[in-house]
Structure 1
Amino acid sequence: MDAETTESFQSLDPATGEIVGEHPVHGKEAVDAAIERARGAAAWWADLGWKERRIRLLNIKGALTRSLNRVATLIHRETGKPIEDAQLEVVLAITHLDWAARKAEKVLGPRRVPSGLLSVNQKAILEYQPLGVVGVIGPWNYPLFTPVGSIGYALAAGNAVVCKPSEYTPGVATLFAEMVASVVPEQPILQVVTGFGETGAALAGGAVDKIAFTGSTPTARKVMAACAERLTPIVAECGGKDAFIVDADADVEAAAEAALWGAMSNAGQTCTGVERVYVVDSVYETFVDRLAEQARVLRPGEDRGASYGPITMPGQLDIIKRHIDDAVAQGGRAIVGGPASVKEPYVEPVILLDVPEDSSAVCEETFGPTITVHRVQSLEEAVTRANASRYALAGAIFSGSRSAAMNAARRLRGGMTSINAVIAFAAVPSLPFGGVGDSGFGRIHGADGLREFARAKSITRQRFSAMNLTSFKRTDKDMARALQLVNLLHGRRYK
């Protein structure tokens, strides 16, 4: 692909501005060529069968594990996040690769399903077959973990993948693809195309069998429009405005610690990060004091002692500042930080109180180290206000009552909820991950994530002759027996 491309671009360390790497800008011709190569690789990969794919995927996992620090260092340099956070990201990717490799056959492999009495002479088999070529458009905030949530599961399901990473973090995807190629040199089961929006558009509009997209809601709409030309299905994981609820009987100290991590880690650049906190009145003051106390000791920077790094995408700084300014202009109070906290490329911690629900700081995704805290009278009110957002990705509830927390968790609109923890679901490979509303649709991770990259195939095989209902030689006796059986099975009254 590089030979076809003369234009290139550089990835930069957002903290220092130093050049991290140089990558080609792949146009439509190069993207189409990659998809065509992937088509052949997909056929070969699918024909290997479950066992051989599992062995190779586990060896990819092993190669990634042995290169953990090397990969984490590159993540650190391209995103600016602390090296320990980058290492944790690699660990999560390893965990998900392992689960997908080991569980794919059990979830997707052929299995017999009940035929029912009316079709007792038929053996019914359900299996899931690969789609073919999956296009993955990845984000910059978790440049390994998030794409692997699609890449690993798509490969485990028997597909080949063409990945377009963010232009801010192309090196991470390129390095991972090199590892995959070193383990599976026979065919290009994972290829990376780099560039800007035009490259992503070429992939979305190309001859792929599915697109897995992670990014903003407006961009998701553009990707969907491109996919519509070919009726290409898409799984979209978009933004969030996740709520964190603190009940009256919660462990306030633990809740404050978790909310702070959920809001400030990775400089707040997490789609499932905490942006809104609703606290029951009786513990509100205590919670706010604990949260502010812990937030004041956090410090952004590029050194090993920094709590979090810079804002990776420079344009996000304007959005963060606009949200803080709007919150204060509408009567909100900044008890930690404030408008002056935005100091390019960093944003110091900001905690806002008394912010109106219609403020952009509450309604729109901020994607920075800011948090709004709201007083509510009850858990019920907290759930109602949390659900008022057009975003519905994830959330968290802290409560001393297991039943109350479970009930509230089920009623929170969104794909995932953690109880007495924050973002815990992301570390559980068996749990599906995704949102509803403006947060997207479809699921990665877990059994649902494997099925997302496969098509159901139903097969019946007649074992013996029975009632001859689907033939022009059907007799009155055959039909009478069928109607008698249906009446017996389904005609009763239920109380």
Structure 2
Amino acid sequence: MTATLEPTAATDAPVETFDSFNPANGDLVGTHAVRSKAEVDAAVARAREAAAWWGSLSFDERAEHLLTWRSVITRRIAQLADLSHRENGKPHGDAQLEIILAIDHVAWAAKNAKKVLGPSKVKSGLLMANQASTVEYKPLGVVGVIGPWNYPVFTPMGSIAYALAAGNTVVFKPSEYTPGVGQWLADTFTEVVHGRPVLQVVTGLGETGNALCTAAVDKLAFTGSGATGKKVMAACAENLTPVIIEAGGKDSLIVDEDADIAKAAEAALWGGMSNAGQTCIGTERVYVHEKVFDSFMIEILDQAKGLRAGADEGAKIGPITMPSQLKIIQSHIDDAIEKGAHVALGGSDAVGERFVQPTILTHVPETSTEITEETFGPTLAINPVSSMDEAVELTNATSYGLAGAVFSKKQGMQIARRIRSGMTSVNSVIAFAGVPTLPFGGVGQSGFGRIHGPDGLKEFTYAKAITRQKFKPVMMLTSFERTAKEDGRVAQLMTLLHGGKQTLK
């Protein structure tokens, strides 16, 4: 990615641009404008005007637009997958899988927004028995979204589709590594709404993202590194703009002694190596019960035969999208080996100029960066443990808390509940991401807030509480005409209701 200045045809004034390249071969994919703060502010202003129209539509009317968009994406899935393949580098099949999951989420958000966010009755309680109480969830207005490059369709759509379904307009700043994908999404939605700026894209580098953070948006959803997430929060704090942060992870996969070893190995291999390991909810650590450790290693190494990174059709792993990540991957592998880790596959020589070959290390010291820091590459650190208690303890010994997996026939659910993370799959890997009804997000250094599911819809709204008096109250408490006698009756009532020992029924 490079930035240049080019004159415009209308004014001959220089316009800063940047290029996106295919990380597999360096070919130019596209050239995009670096949007200035003034241009970002203008986009937000347009979104504010469009919000008056979009927000005034009924849930059913918005759903119709969103479901039409879903159909457009589905019909053009090959086109979008090819663009994602060229900008991100991932194989066509992986690009298509990501889009399929996104389509399912768009459909769920469109069809369920009314049920989740529409007016619903709640009980008023004895003191306010004369009131009819309702709660509903109103759109915030304009939502800013800063998306990542590793899943340029699925991840930002978890914010975009849900924010739109809730009645907000969206200004989306895609990663500078995958700007074309972001522009494609905005262009196709604009077709559906007949040119209205309901979903807009502002392309650019870090300065453009900062401009979106400080613009007059009502909430900002960010996906990326924890370090950048802190900068986003600081910038948003200028206007007291609330944020959703989905940062990194150091997820583990736990294998119990009664697990299906073949399936556990298959899940660990895919969870660690798919998308070249560039998955925030991917597997980076594996803790295997010592009784089945040797059989697990035989199985995973057997399954890994022939698995390789490359640009040809036979390769199932693509390139490292962000070149600077190569040094981090190299340093983590080298640090683990220097501290005594055993190389079972790949190793220090696995890191090339664009690709990293699958690397599996065992008996990795818990103090090495391969264990403590997010690697974001096709590596796995596999260690034996004496018990599931030890596996859980080591899994939780991190400041991250995003996701993970457990393979166990008898204790899967119990172990999963003990893991400090926002999401866990039992006897599968990353399954939760494909379930539209489940919230997606982490704890600790992995961020806060949720996308997907009812929680994801509510993230882009504010709760509106309304009471309506049905009949005159027996005791008028909200009046200066209230008497001492009424105060006494209220005190007696509260003593009867709450003064004694209560039991749950």
Give the TM-score category using the shorter length.
Answer: over 0.9
Match 2:472 to one of 454, 465, 481: 465
Is 1:369 equivalent to 2:375 in the alignment?
no
Q: CA deviation at 1:444?
A: 0.3
Q: How far apart in 2 are the matches of 1:59 and 1:481?
A: 59
CA deviation profile, 1:247-305 (whole Å, cap 9, x unmatched): 01000011000000000000000000000000011001110111122223201112222
Q: How far apart in 1 are the matches of 2:301 and 2:58?
A: 55
TM-score by length of 1: 0.98
- Residue equivalent to 2:450: 443
SS at match of 1:117: coil
Match 2:56 to one of 47, 53, 67: 47
Q: Report matched runs for 1:108-119 at 5 Å.
A: 108-119=117-128
- Residue equivalent to 1:253: 262
Q: How far apart in 1 are the matches of 2:476 and 2:195?
A: 50
Q: How far apart in 2 are the matches of 1:367 and 1:350?
A: 12
- Residue equivalent to 2:494: 486
Q: Report matched runs for 1:145-294 at 5 Å.
A: 145-294=154-303
Q: How far apart in 2 are the matches of 1:85 and 1:207?
A: 36
CA deviation profile, 1:141-173 (whole Å, cap 9, x unmatched): 000100000000000000000000000000001
Is 1:384 equivalent to 2:388 in the alignment?
no
Q: CA deviation at 1:42?
A: 1.1
Partner amino acid, structure 1, of 2:251: D
Q: How far apart in 1 are the matches of 2:132 and 2:488?
A: 24
Instruction: Give the superposed CA RMSD.
Output: 1.1
Identical counterparts, % of pairs = 59
Partner amino acid, structure 2, of 1:483: A
Partner amino acid, structure 2, of 1:409: A
Gaps of 5+ in 1: none
Q: How far apart in 2 are the matches of 1:150 and 1:171?
A: 18
Q: How far apart in 2 are the matches of 1:61 and 1:146?
A: 16
Partner amino acid, structure 2, of 1:479: D
Asked if the contact 1:20/1:78 (under 8 Å) is kept, the reply is: yes
Is 1:416 equivalent to 2:423 in the alignment?
yes
Asked if the contact 1:235/1:441 (under 8 Å) is kept, the reply is: yes
Partner amino acid, structure 2, of 1:490: H
Q: CA deviation at 1:477?
A: 3.1
Is 1:88 equivalent to 2:97 in the alignment?
yes
Q: How far apart in 1 are the matches of 2:355 and 2:195?
A: 44
Partner amino acid, structure 2, of 1:384: E
Partner amino acid, structure 2, of 1:427: G
Q: How far apart in 2 are the matches of 1:224 and 1:330?
A: 36
Asked if the contact 1:296/1:349 (under 8 Å) is kept, the reply is: no
Q: CA deviation at 1:400?
A: 1.1
Partner amino acid, structure 2, of 1:422: V
Partner amino acid, structure 1, of 2:104: T
Q: How far apart in 1 are the matches of 2:134 and 2:480?
A: 27
Q: How far apart in 2 are the matches of 1:108 and 1:400?
A: 38
Partner amino acid, structure 2, of 1:491: G
Change (3 A) 1:280 1:122: same
Q: How far apart in 2 are the matches of 1:376 and 1:15?
A: 38
Q: How far apart in 2 are the matches of 1:335 and 1:376?
A: 18
Q: How far apart in 2 are the matches of 1:435 and 1:251?
A: 27
Q: CA deviation at 1:186?
A: 4.9
CA deviation profile, 1:161-198 (whole Å, cap 9, x unmatched): 00000000000010010100000025211000001000
Q: How far apart in 1 are the matches of 2:500 and 2:77?
A: 62
More displaced stretch, 184-193 vs 203-212: 184-193
SS at match of 2:35: coil
Q: CA deviation at 1:5?
A: 7.3
Q: How far apart in 2 are the matches of 1:453 and 1:141?
A: 24
Q: CA deviation at 1:375?
A: 0.8
Q: How far apart in 1 are the matches of 2:135 and 2:287?
A: 45
Q: CA deviation at 1:478?
A: 2.2
Asked if the contact 1:240/1:391 (under 8 Å) is kept, the reply is: yes
Q: CA deviation at 1:476?
A: 2.6
Asked if the contact 1:392/1:414 (under 8 Å) is kept, the reply is: yes
Match 2:75 to one of 27, 50, 66: 66
Partner amino acid, structure 1, of 2:480: F
Q: How far apart in 1 are the matches of 2:195 and 2:374?
A: 43
Q: How far apart in 1 are the matches of 2:392 and 2:359?
A: 24
Q: CA deviation at 1:51?
A: 1.2
Partner amino acid, structure 2, of 1:469: L
Asked if the contact 1:161/1:191 (under 8 Å) is kept, the reply is: yes
CA deviation profile, 1:211-253 (whole Å, cap 9, x unmatched): 0000000000000000111110000000010010000100001
- Residue equivalent to 1:407: 414
CA deviation profile, 1:310-360 (whole Å, cap 9, x unmatched): 000000000000000000000111110100000120000000011110100
Q: Report matched runs for 1:298-309 at 5 Å.
A: 298-309=307-318
Q: How far apart in 1 are the matches of 2:447 and 2:430?
A: 18
SS at match of 1:191: strand
SS at match of 2:171: strand
CA deviation profile, 1:386-418 (whole Å, cap 9, x unmatched): 0001111000000010xx211111110010000
Q: How far apart in 2 are the matches of 1:9 and 1:339?
A: 33
Q: How far apart in 2 are the matches of 1:351 and 1:8?
A: 40
SS at match of 2:15: coil
Partner amino acid, structure 2, of 1:251: D
Asked if the contact 1:46/1:159 (under 8 Å) is kept, the reply is: yes
Q: How far apart in 2 are the matches of 1:156 and 1:489?
A: 42
Is 1:358 equivalent to 2:367 in the alignment?
yes
SS at match of 2:42: helix
Match 1:30 to one of 31, 36, 39: 39
Gaps of 5+ in 2: 1-7
